[in-house]
Amino acid sequence: MQSIVTRSEPPIRLRLDGIEVRFGGLVALEDVSLQVPAGSVVGVMGPNGAGKTTLFNVVCGFQRPRAGTLSFDGRPVRPAPHRLVRHGVARTLQGLGLFGGLTVLENVAAGASLSHRAPFVTSLLGLPSGARTQRAARDAAATLLDEFGIGDYAQSLPPALPYAVAKKVALARALISDPTLLLLDEPAGGLDSADIEELGTLIRRLPARGDGSRSVMLVEHNVDLIMSVCDHIVVLDFGKVIAAGTPDEIRADPLVAAAYLGGKDAA
Ligand SMILES: Nc1ncnc2c1ncn2[C@@H]1O[C@H](COP(=O)(O)OP(=O)(O)OP(=O)(O)O)[C@@H](O)[C@H]1O
Ligand SMILES: [Mg+2]
């Protein structure tokens, strides 16, 4: 019986329990708990100042919580930006952070060197042979660019790119490290509605890539995007979780309508 239960519920990739962050007297996060199961897309939304970026920073290790615990794959962790890769975590930040002097292909290939699987891949290839790993990274980057429909930009330099293309390049660079958990901070920021829809389709497909167990946590302002791509949504308001559930449950939640949608989408 135990095994049936275990099989029907995916393991928890990321777990936050009782996270608290204060800035002086301001409580930015209070007793925030959430779980990101393997193979799912979990969204964090909330009005301005709700604590979304602070929460993202806690998971990335940019912000140390005053109280609370985090675990990746059941292991308690104290995240630090330089240790994320070891945990199989990759992220895209609000800024693009692309290397202006490298081509799109080189930018994406550079992300491969950050892979938590790199030592394994290296041993498979019978290294030391930097050239072979580099070639493998470039091949993988080219495949990703094609998959994202931006193969034509492989030799372009980032400053010349349309913004929506640059966003996809940043996503490809995070993805090439084959993360088990991908963190996205405001991925829709600065995009028009057609581009947001396309991005949504892309994000939706992320867990199914590879072995189907990749998880995505996105912090996002855009309600339509979050509703269309997430399996589960957590809503913050004034640093507290005021609602958590499926997109339908969140849409129907009067507290959310009052806090976030300003009654706009309320029935
Ligand atoms: N470094 C800081 N020092 C002091 N206060 C901060 C700091 N960072 C955030 N805050 C405050 O903490 C609260 C939560 O901010 P946070 O940036 O996490 O909200 P947010 O949900 O990301 O908002 P937005 O939608 O505007 O990006 C806000 O009241 C903000 O002013
Ligand atoms: Mg923010």
Per residue in 45-91, pLDDT (tens digit) is 998 899 999 999 999 999 999 999 999 999 999 888 878 878 888 88
Residue 123: pLDDT band with limits 50, 70, 90: very low
SS3 label, residue 36: strand
Q: Report the pLDDT value the prediction gives residue 263, as an integer from 0 to 100.
A: 43
Q: Report the pLDDT value the prediction gives residue 115, as an integer from 0 to 100.
A: 58
- Is the pLDDT reported for residue 117 higher than 70? no
Evaluate whether 169 touches 150 at the Cβ level (below 8 Å): yes
Q: Report the pLDDT value the prediction gives residue 135, as an integer from 0 to 100.
A: 82
Domain boundaries, the chain: 37-64+79-88+179-267, 97-178
49 lines ligand 1 (CB under 6 A): yes
Q: Which of 121-135, 172-186, 213-227 has the lowest mean pLDDT?
A: 121-135
pLDDT in tens, 198-239: 999 999 988 887 677 899 999 998 888 999 999 999 999 999
Ligand index nearest the alpha carbon of residue 24: 1
Q: Provide the mean pLDDT of the chain.
A: 86
143 lines ligand 1 (CB under 6 A): no
Cα–ligand 1 centroid distance for 230 (angstroms): 23
Cα–ligand 1 centroid distance for 12 (angstroms): 27
* Ligand 1 binding pocket mutation candidate from 29, 54, 223, 242 (most atoms within 8 A of CB): 54
52 lines ligand 1 (CB under 6 A): yes
SS3 label, residue 215: strand
Q: Which residue has the higher pLDDT, 119 or 163?
A: 163
Neighbour-count burial for 147-177, b at 16+ CB within 10 Å, e otherwise: ebebeebbebbbeebeebbbbbbbbbbbbbb
CATH no., domain 97-178 = 3.40.50.300
What is the 3-state secondary structure of 170-204? HHHHHHCCCCCEEEEECCCCCCCHHHHHHHHHHHH
Q: Which of 39-53, 153-167, 211-225, 237-251 has the lowest mean pLDDT?
A: 211-225
CA angle 79, 84, 90 (to 5 degrees): 130
48 lines ligand 1 (CB under 6 A): yes
Pairing of strands 67-72, 12-23: antiparallel
Q: Report the pLDDT value the prediction gives residue 257, as an integer from 0 to 100.
A: 87
Look up the CATH superfamily of 37-64+79-88+179-267: P-loop containing nucleotide triphosphate hydrolases (3.40.50.300)
Q: Report the pLDDT value the prediction gives residue 266, as an integer from 0 to 100.
A: 38
In this chain, the answer to whether the domains covering 37-64+79-88+179-267 and 97-178 adopt an identical fold is: yes
Please report, rounded to a whole number, the percentage of residues in the chain having pLDDT higher than 70.
85
Cα–ligand 2 centroid distance for 223 (angstroms): 14
Could you tell me which of 109, 156, 154 has the C-alpha nearest to residue 130? 109
